Amino acid sequence: MPGMGSGLVIGNQRVPVPGVDVTSFLDDPALRLASYDKRLRSSRERAWVHLVVVHTTGGIPGGSDLRPQVIKPGFGPPSGGGERVVASWTSDPKRPGGAHLVVDFDGRAYCCADLLSDATYHAERANGCSVGVEVVQGHAEAELYQSQLDVAARLVLEICRLMPVPIQWQVPTPYAGKPLLRFVDSLAHDSVPLGDVVGIVGHRDLTANRGEGDPGDALMASLVAAGCERLDFGAGQDLTVWKERQAQLGVATADGVPGPATVKALAVAGHPDGIWQAPISSQPTS
Ligand SMILES: [Zn+2]
């Protein structure tokens, strides 16, 4: 039943997203992921979901298909919505896979799992600490639609704002053609709880098994246009910047990782929802 606009599901609550039509598995059972495409988060994971990993369903360019993405204007025709994508995920129990959200060509979004309770199988080691968002990509021309990308970006920022511990609006600097080693390393070492990178990353930033087109530069550009800050995660710029911010805010442990205590301090200091949210146009014009 697309078009009902029931909202995201966060901790078993329906949460509408202003301006984005989101249908969830609570209203359309065909959107529910299979048990082998997700698991429950551990209590430790649930305490602080700190990443949104963005994808394209086609992942083009990547693997053996190196066609460039074609970004078409406006919205496109619906591709079958979340139901089609979920059916492709659930069709094979031997190939687990799924994400929390699907954004179709027409800008409609489909919520397939609980953003807080469920870890969906979209990002390997980052599953436990992340929300997964898939943007539908066509195979005919490797196409995406500009308005679809802009809605996906708005949706991702709203997800960051709506999580119990809001996630900072920051993305990596332009893709260097390989995963962010520091990020991959931090997820591999459990001494840093569930990695030390916070914000919005592409699947391509996490694994060499995916190419540039998962999700591609256009979606990252839409995220920046929607208000995300670009930081060089690979060089640790986020850690430097956040250590300074934490010191200014009086956060006891200025470790450079904007966790729950930093979010609280930001909210107290007047940052809406505890998100830093860099001003979009602060460039002097004179
Ligand atoms: Zn992916």
pLDDT for 190 equals 65
Cα(202) to ligand 1 centroid in Å equals 8
Contacts of 99 (CB under 8 A, 6+ apart): 55, 112, 113, 120, 122, 132, 133, 134
Which two tokens mark 158?
Answer: 């709203």
Q: Give per-residue pLDDT as tens, 5-33.
A: 689 999 999 999 999 999 999 999 999 99
> Residue 58: which of 176, 148, 145, 139 has the closest Cα?
139
Cα of 231 vs centre of ligand 1, distance in Å, is: 21
Q: What is the pLDDT of residues 28-44, one digit of tens each?
A: 999 999 999 999 999 99
How many angstroms is it from 284 CA to the middle of ligand 1? 38
| Tens of pLDDT, residues 43-77 | 999 999 999 999 999 999 999 999 999 999 999 99
CATH architecture assignment, domain 8-235: 3-Layer(aba) Sandwich (3.40)
Residue positions counted in the chain: 286
* Span from the CA of 27 to the centroid of ligand 1 (angstroms): 26
CA geometry: angle at 162 spanning 131 and 159, to 5°? Answer: 40
Give the SS3 label for residue 133.
strand
Q: Please report how many Cα atoms fall inside a 13 Å half-sphere around the Cα of residue 119, on the Cβ side.
A: 21
CA 264–ligand 1 middle distance (angstroms)? 31
CA of 245 to the centre of ligand 1 (A): 32
β-strands 101-103, 170-172: how paired?
unpaired
Gap from CA of 100 to ligand 1 centroid (Å): 12
Condensed to tens digits (0 to 9), the pLDDT of residues 149-201 reads 999 999 999 999 999 999 999 999 999 999 999 888 888 876 556 789 999 99
Q: Which residues surround ligand 1, an ion (CB under 5 A)?
A: 55, 203, 214
Q: pTM, whole model, 2 decimals?
A: 0.94
CA of residue 120 to ligand 1 center, whole Å: 12
- Per cent of the chain over pLDDT 90 is 87
CA distances from 192 to 15, 167, 184, 222, 255 (A): 31, 17, 12, 30, 11
Cα(208) to centroid(ligand 1), Å: 11
Domain with CATH 3.40.80.10 in the chain: 8-235
Q: What is the mean pLDDT of residues 98-127?
A: 97
Q: What is the predicted pLDDT for the residue at 6?
A: 85
The alpha carbon of 271 and the centre of ligand 1 are apart by a number of angstroms equal to 32
pLDDT over 70 percentage in the chain: 94
